[in-house]
Amino acid sequence: MSDEKHLIRYSGRGAFARDLIARAAGSSVFTEDGRELLDFTSGQMSAILGHSHPEIVATVQEQVASLDHLHSGMLSRPVLDLAERLVATLPAPLEKAVFLTTGAEANEAALRMAKLVTGGHEVVSFARSWHGMTQGAANATYSAGRVGYGPAAPGNFALPVPDRFRPSIVGPDGELDWRRQLDLGFDLVDAQSVGALAACLVEPVLSSGGVVDLPPGYLAALAEKCRERGMLLIVDEAQTGLCRTGDWYAFERDGVVPDILTLSKTLGAGLPLAAVVTSAEIEERAHERGFLFFTTHVNDPLPAAVGLTVLDVLQRDGLDRRAAELGERLQAGLRSLPHDVVADVRGRGLLVGLELGGADADQRGARVTARCAELGLHVNIVQLPGMGGTFRIAPPLTASGEEIDRGVTIIGEALSSVR
C-alpha cells in the first residue's frame, strides 16, 4: 500500500484498509494489484445500484457537461423534477423537499427546522444511535464520538434501545417488553426535560447500533409519545430508505408517517446527495420564522439529476421486491452456516446483521473480517465495545443471487478458519 503519512486518520480506532482500490464495478471493487473483493457494504452502505451503474455514469457525463453547480439561491430543472418525483413515492402530507449533501447535513437541517417550528431545543434519540458528526447530529449520536470533545449541547436525551436479542426489560415470557421500556424511557426524559422538547430523531433500523430492527408497533407508539408532548418525529432513513429493507421506506411497515424524513446515502446511490422532506404546514411555519440552512451545495443540479436516475432504476426494476427476495436468500444462507458461533441473524431486506456468540466475539469478529478480505469479500463490523462480533451486511440491490451465495460461502469459510 502507498504511504499514508499525509492523511488525517478520521475513523477513531479503525485503520485504513490494507489494499488500495483502483476501480469498482457492479457488486465488486478491485485493488491495484488486481484482486476482486465482493462488496457486501455497498461502499459506505450507499451504492444500492452497485458501482459504476451504466445509467448513473451516463447521467453524470451528460449533466456535468451542461449544468453541474449553481448559486444556492438559483433553481434548475433537475431539482424541481427530483422534488416532484421523490414526494410522489411518499405518503401525504410529506410534500416539501430540500436537497443537501450528506446524512449529517440532512439531520442537522431537520433538527434546526424542528427547533424553530416547536420553539423547543430538546432532542431525544436512541442510546446506540448514529446520525452524523456535525454539531446537532453528533449531539444526538450516542454510539461513538462523545468522548474528548467537551460538553454536548444541553437538552439531548437518550432512549434505551429496543433490542430483542439482548433485552433490558422482559415480560413474563422472557421476551423484550418494549412498551414498558418505552414508557420508562420517556418517564426519564420527562423528568429531565425543562419543558422544551422539540424532536425525536430515530433510525427505523439502528445500523451502526448493531442492526437492531425496531419491533413491529414500536414506531407507532413512539409517534404517539411525540404527539403527546408536542414534539416532531424525525425518521432518519439514510441506510433504510429507497427499497433496501424491501419497502420503499422502512417506516411504512408500521403505518407511521414522520413529521420530517431525512434521506441520504441511498438517494445518490453512492454520490453525495441527501434530502429533508416534510409537510407543507411545517415548511410554512419554518419559513415564517426565518428558517436558514444555506449551504454551498444545496439544491445542486448534478446530484439531483443522479437522484432522478436512481428513482428511475428503482421503480423500473422493482428493486423493493428484489431486496425482499434477496434478503430472504441472504438470511437463509447465513442461518444455514454450520457454526455454533453464529448467535443471531436479523434485519430487513438487504440490511442484515450477523452476530457471533462467545466471550471473544469482538476479537473473532476482527479476525473473520480480515479473513473474508483475504478470501475476496468486504464486510463491516459494528464499532461498538462489546459488539465487534456483529457484522453489518448490505450488498447492492442489484447483486445477483449467485453473488449473495458466494458471499455467504466466504463468510462460512472465514468462520471455519478462525474458529
Q: How far is CA 248 from the centre of its chain?
A: 14
How confident is residue 99, by pLDDT bands cut at 50, 70 and 90?
very high
Provide, for the chain, the percentages of residues in helix, strand and coil under a 3-state DSSP scheme, each rounded to the nearest 5.
35, 20, 45
CATH topology for 21-52+318-417 is Aspartate Aminotransferase, domain 1 (3.90.1150)
Q: Give the whole-angstrom CA distance, residue 176 versus residue 346.
A: 15
Report DSSP letters for 54-123, one per residue.
HHHHHHHHHHHTT-----TT---HHHHHHHHHHHHTS-TTEEEEEEES-HHHHHHHHHHHHHHHHS--EE
Compute how many other C-beta atoms are within 10 angstroms of the C-beta atom of residue 209: 25
Q: Give the whole-angstrom CA distance, residue 273 versus residue 300.
A: 9
**What does the pLDDT read at residue 216?**
97
Average pLDDT of 134-152?
92
pLDDT of 164-208, one tens digit each? Answer: 999 999 999 999 999 999 999 999 999 999 999 999 999 999 999
**What does the pLDDT read at residue 115?**
98
Query: Is pLDDT at 42 greater than 70 in this prediction?
Result: yes
SS (H, E, C) 317-364: CCHHHHHHHHHHHHHHHHHCCCCCCEEEEEEECCEEEEEECCCCHHHH
Q: What angle do CA 323, 328, 334 make, to 5 degrees?
A: 120
The answer to whether the CB of 375 falls within 8 A of the CB of 414 is yes
pLDDT of 307-363, one tens digit each? Answer: 999 999 999 999 999 999 999 999 999 999 977 889 999 999 999 999 998 888 888
Compute how many other C-beta atoms are within 10 angstroms of the C-beta atom of residue 352: 22
Query: Is pLDDT at 384 greater than 90 in this prediction?
Result: no
Pick the CATH number of 67-316 from 3.40.640.10, 3.40.630.30, 3.60.90.10, 3.90.45.10: 3.40.640.10
How confident is residue 14, by pLDDT bands cut at 50, 70 and 90?
low
**What does the pLDDT read at residue 386?**
66
pLDDT averaged over every residue in the chain: 95
Same fold, 21-52+318-417 and 67-316: no
92-106, 219-233, 240-254, 357-371: least confident range: 357-371
C-alpha cell at position 284: 410554512
366 vs 25, residue with greater confidence: 25
Q: Give the whole-angstrom CA distance, residue 365 versus residue 342.
A: 11
Q: Give the whole-angstrom CA distance, residue 228 versus residue 84.
A: 32
**What does the pLDDT read at residue 362?**
86
Cis peptide bond prior to 93, omega within 30° of 0: yes
Burial 239-264 (b: 16+ CB within 10 A, else e): bbbbbbbbbbbbbbbbebbbbbbbbb
Domain assignments of the chain as residue spans, ordered by start: 21-52+318-417, 67-316
Q: Give the whole-angstrom CA distance, residue 323 versus residue 36.
A: 23
Q: Give the whole-angstrom CA distance, residue 402 versus residue 35.
A: 19
**What does the pLDDT read at residue 12?**
76
Query: Is pLDDT at 1 greater than 60 in this prediction?
Result: no
Give me the residue label for grid cell 419554518.
Answer: 286
87-96, 144-153, 172-181: least confident range: 144-153
Query: Considering the entire predicted model, what is its pTM?
Result: 0.97
> What percentage of the chain reaches a pLDDT higher than 70?
98
Give me the residue label for grid cell 478480505.
Answer: 373
Q: Give the whole-angstrom CA distance, residue 269 versus residue 309.
A: 10
How confident is residue 158, by pLDDT bands cut at 50, 70 and 90?
very high
DSSP 164: S
The residues that are catalytic are 130, 203, 236, 239, 265, 392
**What does the pLDDT read at residue 357?**
87
